[in-house]
Amino acid sequence: MSEARHPEGVHERGRDGVVRDPAAHDRVVQSMFARIARVYDFMNHALSFNRDRAWRRDLVRALDPGTDLLVDLCAGTGDLGLAALRGGRCRRVVAADFTPAMLAAGRGKGLGAQIPAVAADAQDLPLRDGCADAVAVGFGVRNLADLRRGLAEARRVLKPGGRLLVLDFFRDDPAAAGAGRGAARPLRRGLDLALPLAGRLLGRDRAAYAYLAASRDRFVTPAEFAALLGEFGFRDILVRRQTFGIAHLIGGRFEITD
């Protein structure tokens, strides 16, 4: 079977945060998102029963008032950056994604017109040091071949005191407690069964939507990601569960310490 049919086969992540074969992983992920770019927004809203909109709004509300430049990484079709700009939570946005087809799919919504869009890898950004007041990533860090390299780039482009905010699906931590946690597991199991079927019937790409569950289950837990932010110099760590813990909003403020 080809890697494109089974992208989960190149997504095994080691303790260092790097997948087994980064180059192959990047090729598979880029090809997968290019294939589903046309239906990406529709599938996101349909499969989450529009909860993805509420999750993005929660991230936007977590931005500091008066934020000037927001860098939207793994921007896809631009929903997150556009929501922040139109909601008045920042003055400027730059959107970056390494799949040009995804950026092209967002043009009808104002991506590229209202906010600049650049085809760039979040692990190697064409942005100067300390240029951003905030960095946001909506459902993108899970796709990075090298998680630490991606966090290092986010930190590099942030000004001291800037916020990093990440919205994503994380691996479940059975040891974690919290109200509503019991409801999250059956919901996740239902989504795991529904995603490949919906991908085949609606998106005409079963493998791409099977990837969601596979990539989540091979990713880090919310606690592990929060600890990793601490290692990279982020403080005031925020961990906020979304819809019984199906997704999480995790972030921190970059501080230079002696």
Q: What is the CA radius of gyration of the chain?
A: 17
Give the model confidence (pLDDT) of 29-70 as tens digits: 999 999 999 999 988 888 788 999 999 999 999 999 999 999
pLDDT of the residue at 211: 81
Cβ atoms < 10 Å from Cβ of 135? 28
Amino acid of residue 38? R
pLDDT at 43: 84
Determine contact, residues 154/145, Cβ cutoff 8 Å. no
The angle that helices 181-201 and 206-217 make with each other, rounded to 10 degrees, is 160
Residue with the two structure tokens 């592990």? 224
Per the domain annotation, does 45 fall within a domain? yes
* pLDDT, mean over the chain: 87
Q: What gap in Å lies between CA 118 and CA 96, rounded to an integer? A: 5
Q: For residues 128 and 111, what is the distance between their CA atoms, to the nearest angstrom?
A: 22
246 belongs to a structural domain? yes
Number of structural domains the chain divides into: 1
Mean predicted confidence (pLDDT) in 135-140: 97
Residue 187 resides in a domain? no
Q: Which pLDDT belongs to residue 228?
A: 97
Asked whether the predicted pLDDT for residue 195 surpasses 80, the reply is no
Is residue 190 domain-resident?
no
Helix, strand and coil in the chain, % to nearest 5: 45, 25, 30
CA distance 75 to 216: 19
Predicted TM-score of the model (pTM): 0.90
Phi, psi of 115 (to 5 degrees): -135, 140
In this structure, what CATH number is given to the domain that contains residue 22? 3.40.50.150
In a domain, 133, yes or no: yes
State how far the Cα of 134 lies from the Cα of 141, in Å rounded to an integer: 16
CA distance 82 to 87: 8
Tokens 């069964």 — which residue?
193
pLDDT tens string 60-118: 999 999 999 999 999 999 999 999 999 999 999 999 999 999 999 999 999 999 999 99
Residue 180 lies in a domain: no
Evaluate whether 136 touches 59 at the Cβ level (below 8 Å): yes
Domain span at 35: 7-175+203-254
Residue 35, domain member (yes or no): yes
Phi and psi for 159 in degrees, rounded to 5? -75, 155
- Inside any domain, residue 184: no
Percent of the chain whose pLDDT exceeds 90: 68
Residue 7 banded pLDDT, cuts 50, 70, 90: very low
Give the DSSP H/E element, type plus range, for residue 117.
Answer: strand 117-119
